[in-house]
Amino acid sequence: MSKKEIYAVKGLSVPETPASAQEPKPWKQTQMVGKGIPRVDAYERVSGTAVYPSDVLLPDMIYGAVLRCPHPHAQVKKVDVEAASKMPGVRAVITGDTPEARVEWTYSKEARSSLFDPHCRFEGEPVAAVAAETPYQAEDALRAIRVEYDVLPFVVDERDALKENAPSVHGAGNVLKTEKYERGQVDRGFREADVVLEENYRTECQLHTPMELHGCVAKWDGDRLTLWESTQGVYAVQAEVAEVLKLPLSKVRVVGHYMGGGFGSKLKAGKYTVIAALLAKKSARPVKLFLTREETYLAVGNRPPNNMRLKAGVKKDGTLTALDFSCTGTGGAYPSGGTSLVDWLVRDLYKCPNVRTECTDIAIHTGPARPFRAPGHPQGAWVLEQMMDALAEAIKMDPVELRLKNIPNFSQGKEGNPPYSSTGLKQCLEEGAKAFQWKVARSKALAPGETGRIKRGVGMASCLWVVGGGWPPSTVILKLFPDGSLNLNMGASDIGTGTKTVMALVAAEELGIPLGKIEIEHADTGTTQYATPSGGSKTVPTEAPTVRAAAISVKQQLLEMASKELKLDAASLVFQEGSIAPAKDPSKSVKITDLSELKKRGVVVGIGYRGPNPENKAIIPFAAQFCEVEVNTKTGEVKILRFVSTNDSGRVMDRLTYDSQVIGGITMGIGLAMTEYRVLDRDQTGRMLNRNWHDYKLPTALDVPLEMTSLPVDREDSQANSVGAKGLGEPVTIPTAPAIANAVYNATGIRITETPISPERLCRLLAEKRKEG
């Protein structure tokens, strides 16, 4: 395929232009949006010309490194940096005793701390930092720092933290908060049920470990600070750093053109950001400070472990009568959502009048959690979707059928019970089952007489994601040049999901400009417009309508110019493939590039703002996933054979990047289900034992099924926003783990209620089952 074929270059016809102050209607037909068009920044990413923050090289730059507390709980008594300061190449050393480093740090609103807090409440809290000519010399200097600690008693497992005499994290009991929710009459609901099941579940702590390490390059020009940070949101980093260092926002420039993955762990600045800035100030040199891989396992977030219990009642006809859910979890040493949204699917996914949930967040001596791709949802799905599978079996109903029976058309969990702007859950289930050949595959798996040690099974699960509609604010600026080329200026980061590509497609669609003539400036607080961090599956539904609004503003201005030139009313003119013509007489057209006023001005600037969402509507993406597995009943090994994922995320904006998100979400879900879990030395040292990719296992090229089908329910949500898209990045990973667990159950009759589905665990359960006969 040549470059020409990849990037469409033909003139494109353009949709109607609404008058000023009129909201555009969703496109009826699209020319560019929805096609499988390669990324607009693909060249940069595969050629090596893309400069990620960790690639930044500045003249005179030196390297920072952070000394971290090796104990889960300790009081720093003394930090001796004398020897370290004299080491070769060392240019700056800072500790809690350094006056400029005595700054506040807010892990969360409820828990204030300081940058170098002498009371270290988790392994990995910064104690000191150095900057030196090479990273090797910085490491040498860290080793030369002598720290005296009072090592204190610790608790690193939330299941131990509520015991009597458990060490306290914040000087009182370790319960941070308990949240309760109730609707209907749960006890009556259970009395009405034909079948009531109850089960305990647990999901282990999962670590983000994006490929690019957390960190930044910091440079001062007098009182102005520039940070090249690997982040999902440059404006969020700017705000936090400005507040901590008491600088005007205008004096903090954060640049993050490319970034190597975040998954929620790079939504805000880290202590490392501030440390880099302080080291740069002290040494009067630019400082590159990126964490080591080991540090990222300790100090930059995780998906909390959760212990969950669900009691569920169902009638023989498949009507859910009651759900009673409780859970405990931990966000680590500082309040950070240890149980946040874990109960959401129980509250909202299926029609059920009687629901009760109770979530207790517990403090322990581990690194604080950060949002991790669909916070709470994969954990809740692990419970609810396995329970639905068990209920279906108990009432002898197909699991897909049971779910189809319980689809709500409004949000039961949200206040005021708003209707969904669209719900494609039914289509996800039906079309997914069809594409997967669910009935055939299931009857094959259930067929008796299979006696070999390899058993096949199929499983499925569905989900929604709590918010998928995006929201204000966002500002986008488009600059149209007299030669018909366009500059798109937005603050949002492209975290790998294809944001830039989707936005270029929206501009191309609306203005009829080929992608090859569109250039994007983004993710730079100095030169691009305000945007919230890219996360929460909200970037496309937030930014795309904003780009469209800016494009419409450009068109309106062009129509005004043409109206003067043609001496006709602007309302009587229409766009036609790079020209503007009277609707009634297309022969009298004027080329946009010939507009004399455009030539004179040199540029037309269109500003788009993100408008509000529709009132009293819940804009929610839905999904269903189906999978087939092969279980070796002798070794406990599970081979995942295939996956089908059906997603209702509204309109498909770019099919290629859409599918990439789907297969990526499944792959990450396979990690949660099969291999990923944090191991802490619970009794003796409280330290993390698998802080590297050898011992903490991500799915590799050998662990994914070759057959992964992404099947979008491609239907624009005309109520959600002007492009009709809902979020995608998070729902794609929510149902994966329970779909696998249900398939393993289908194959073996063993219900695996705790992650990971490791060969050891499965072997043990298989042996227990054999013993029971």
Partner 1 sequence: MTQKHEPGECRCSRGLTRRGFLSTVGAGVAVASAAGKLAAQPAASQGADVLPSAEMTPITLNINGRTHRLLVEPRWSLLFVLRERLGLTGTKVGCERGECGACTVLMDDLPRYACMTLAVEAQGSEITTLEGLMRGEELGGVQQAFVEEDAFQCGYCTPGQIMAVEGLLRAHPEPSQEEIQMGLSGNLCRCGAYVHIFKAAGRAAQLKRGQ
Please state the closest distance from residue 320 (CB atom) to partner 1, in A: 33
Does 616 contact partner 1 by CB under 8 A? no
Contact 158, 167 (CB under 8 A): no
Q: Which of 1, 21, 172, 447 binds partner 1 (CB under 8 A)?
A: 1
Does 59 contact partner 1 by CB under 8 A? no
Q: Which of 534, 667, 721, 722 binds partner 1 (CB under 8 A)?
A: 667
Does 136 contact partner 1 by CB under 8 A? yes
Does 698 contact partner 1 by CB under 8 A? yes
Q: Which stretch binds partner 1 (CB under 8 A): 524-532, 570-578, 585-593, 687-695?
A: 687-695
Does 694 contact partner 1 by CB under 8 A? yes
Does 665 contact partner 1 by CB under 8 A? yes
**Rounded-to-integer distance, Cα 259 and Cα 214, Å:** 10
Please state the closest distance from residue 288 (CB atom) to partner 1, in A: 8
> Per CB under 8 A, which of residues 4..43 are in contact with partner 1?
6, 38-39, 42-43
**Rounded-to-integer distance, Cα 231 and Cα 589, Å:** 46
Contact 486, 517 (CB under 8 A): yes
**Rounded-to-integer distance, Cα 532 and Cα 183, Å:** 34
Q: Which is nearer to partner 1, 21 or 702 (CB)?
A: 702
Does 701 contact partner 1 by CB under 8 A? yes
Q: Which is nearer to partner 1, 7 or 116 (CB)?
A: 7
Q: Which stretch binds partner 1 (CB under 8 A): 52-60, 97-105, 318-326, 680-688?
A: 52-60
One DSSP character per residue, 29-88 reads: S-SSTTS-PPPTTHHHHHHS-S--GGG---TT-EEEEEEE-SSSSEEEEEEE-HHHHTST
Q: Which of 290, 325, 420, 575 binds partner 1 (CB under 8 A)?
A: 290
Q: Which is nearer to partner 1, 46 or 175 (CB)?
A: 46
Q: How many CB atoms lie within 10 A of CB 700?
A: 11
Q: CB-based contacts of 770: which residues, under 8 Å, 6+ apart?
A: none
Q: Which is nearer to partner 1, 337 or 498 (CB)?
A: 498
Number of residues forming the site for partner 1 (CB under 8 A): 59
Q: Which of 20, 417, 635, 700 binds partner 1 (CB under 8 A)?
A: 700
Q: What angle do CA 448, 454, 456 make, to 5 degrees?
A: 60
Q: Which of 69, 128, 252, 259 binds partner 1 (CB under 8 A)?
A: 259
> Per CB under 8 A, which of residues 483..522 are in contact with partner 1?
495-498
Does 435 contact partner 1 by CB under 8 A? no
- Residue 624 β-bridge partners: 462, 646
Please state the closest distance from residue 422 (CB atom) to partner 1, in A: 26
Please state the closest distance from residue 256 (CB atom) to partner 1, in A: 12
Q: Which stretch binds partner 1 (CB under 8 A): 49-57, 99-107, 415-423, 571-579?
A: 49-57
What's the first-to-final CA gap in the chain, in angstroms? 59
Q: How many CB atoms lie within 10 A of CB 1?
A: 6
Does 301 contact partner 1 by CB under 8 A? no
Does 292 contact partner 1 by CB under 8 A? yes
What is the SS3 assignment for 558? Answer: helix
Q: How far is CA 493 from CA 51, 255, 490, 503, 765, in A?
A: 14, 10, 9, 12, 45
C-alpha neighbours within 13 Å on the C-beta side of residue 357:
22
Pair of tokens at residue 739: 């779909």
Q: Which of 14, 26, 33, 54 binds partner 1 (CB under 8 A)?
A: 54
Q: Which stretch binds partner 1 (CB under 8 A): 123-131, 347-355, 549-557, 696-704?
A: 696-704
Contact 699, 136 (CB under 8 A): no
Of 605, 599, 501, give the one whose Cα is nearest residue 550. Answer: 605
**Rounded-to-integer distance, Cα 696 and Cα 555, Å:** 53
Does 212 contact partner 1 by CB under 8 A? yes
Contact 476, 487 (CB under 8 A): no
What is the SS3 assignment for 120? Answer: strand
What is the SS3 assignment for 767? Answer: helix
Please state the closest distance from residue 663 (CB atom) to partner 1, in A: 5
* Footprint of partner 1 (CB under 8 A): 1, 6, 38-39, 42-43, 45-48, 50-52, 54-55, 57, 134-136, 208-213, 258-261, 263, 290, 292-293, 495-498, 656-657, 659-661, 663-668, 692-694, 698-702, 704, 706, 708
